[in-house]
Amino acid sequence: MVRFDLSGKRALVTGAASGIGLATARLLAQSGAMVALNDLPGDKLTQAVATLQAELPTQTLYAVAGDLANSQTAQAVAEDALARLGGMDYLINNAGAPFTTTPIPANDLAALTDEFWDRILRVNLLSAFWLTKALQATLVRQHGAVVNTVSIAAFGGGGSSVAYATAKSGLRGLTRELARGLAPQVRVNGIAPGYVRSPWACSFGDLDAETAKSVPLKRPGEPADYAELIVFLCAGASYITGEVIEINGGIRI
């Protein structure tokens, strides 16, 4: 895996209690960064931080709980992380949720209620804007980087629902516009994951069977696969901005 010396760097990772977010927080901390982990309040986040602290007892790790579906809470999370870390170099907007346990067919418009749309857009799109806005000044001072977790649904549709694919398409566009707006001091990029072996709330059936059939690399992506690209876009990639990089095992070849 790619390795960086990130001693003295500070990062906020949202959706960090499991999956891609937890793997990213782990890799950042393994590389020497101080990391604030955000997720919903509860035992899941507490346990994630405790696990990393046990693995990496010399690293600085904080839990900054908060539901990012609310703009005021997002602002409070940003302020809490900033105060604890003393600054911010990297913002990883990874928080996301499908709000359905099984995929909603594209023709089932009745299932896409106003409440469902509102929750999807707030968590999967607006939270990234709110946090970037709240941390803009410090990221500019530090010549930092922002990485957004988008989805391959932003490129070809599908995913858990029409609303989810639309929100992620919006996040792809937001990534480009933030890159334009925060240049040259801050780079803003995204990753577009395919299948992920993680405790995702929406089930797509037998993941191993599906990926063996449809993915050229014959397996789902592990959280660490995605974390490696996120950390590269933070700490390397000095001439890359405004891009959303698909990482999907070749499913669209």
**Active-site residue, selected from the candidate residues 90, 164, 195, 226:** 164
Per the annotation, the verdict on 226 as an active-site residue is no
How far, in Å, CA of 77 to CA of 155, rounded?
A: 30
How far, in Å, CA of 14 to CA of 11, rounded?
A: 10
Residue type, 131: L
DSSP for 207-252?
Answer: HHHHHHHH-TTSSPBPHHHHHHHHHHHHHS-TT--S-EEEESTTTT
Q: Which residues pair with 93 in a beta bridge?
A: 148
- Using a 10 angstrom Cβ sphere, with 0-12 exposed, 13-18 middle and 19 or more buried, the burial of residue 72 is exposed
Check: CB of residue 179 under 8 Å from CB of residue 241. Answer: yes
Whether omega for the bond prior to residue 184 falls within 30 degrees of 0, making it cis, is yes
Instruction: At 145, give phi and psi (nearest 5°).
Output: -145, 150
**Residue among 241, 228, 125 nearest 186 (CA):** 241
Q: Which residue has the tokens 């101080």?
A: 34
Active site residues: 164
